[in-house]
Amino acid sequence: MILTCQQVVKCYRDKRVLDGIDLDVPEGQFFGLVGMNGSGKSTLIKSTLDLIGIDSGVIRIHGKPHRSVEARKQVAYLPDRFSPPVHLRGKDFIRYMLDMHHSSKTQAEIDEILDGLELQPSELGESVNKLSKGMTRNWV
């Protein structure tokens, strides 16, 4: 299984948002998580990615505990409201992400990719809080 959730519970104060969720997603399958607003879709995704803690239950990715960095190594997540750290300039954020993922890309390779994304060097020198939402999404 790519993803297994067993009896996952998550509460916000006195509201139980995830109430004993059981879910198995087999490898090679497409699957959609649908439901009404407030039904816990985002909470389940954030719990799976260890962005928020769960109150009880077990979540496994590729058979490994979801809290393990190794389990999430092949997982990508782009939230609707992605916000890079505002204290960084664009180019610092890109370097930070490359370092975090142990990338061996040269500056020339990085410049070529940025050129392909039509990101201007002057824009990358700006604090990320001065850039548009679309520009910051190009970085992820």
Is residue 65 predicted with pLDDT exceeding 90? yes
In this structure, which topology does domain 3-72 adopt according to CATH? Rossmann fold (3.40.50)
Confirm if 91 and 56 have CB atoms less than 8 A apart. Answer: no
Domain ranges of the chain: 3-72, 90-137
List the beta bridge partners of residue 23: 5
Structure tokens at 100: 């975090």
What's the CA dihedral at 33, 37, 42, 44 to 10 degrees? -70
Any idea which residue has 């050129």 for tokens? 115
DSSP character at residue 70: G
Encode pLDDT of 90-124 as tens digits. Answer: 778 778 878 878 888 888 888 888 788 777 777 77
Calpha distance 19→15 (Å, rounded)? 10
pTM given for the model: 0.61
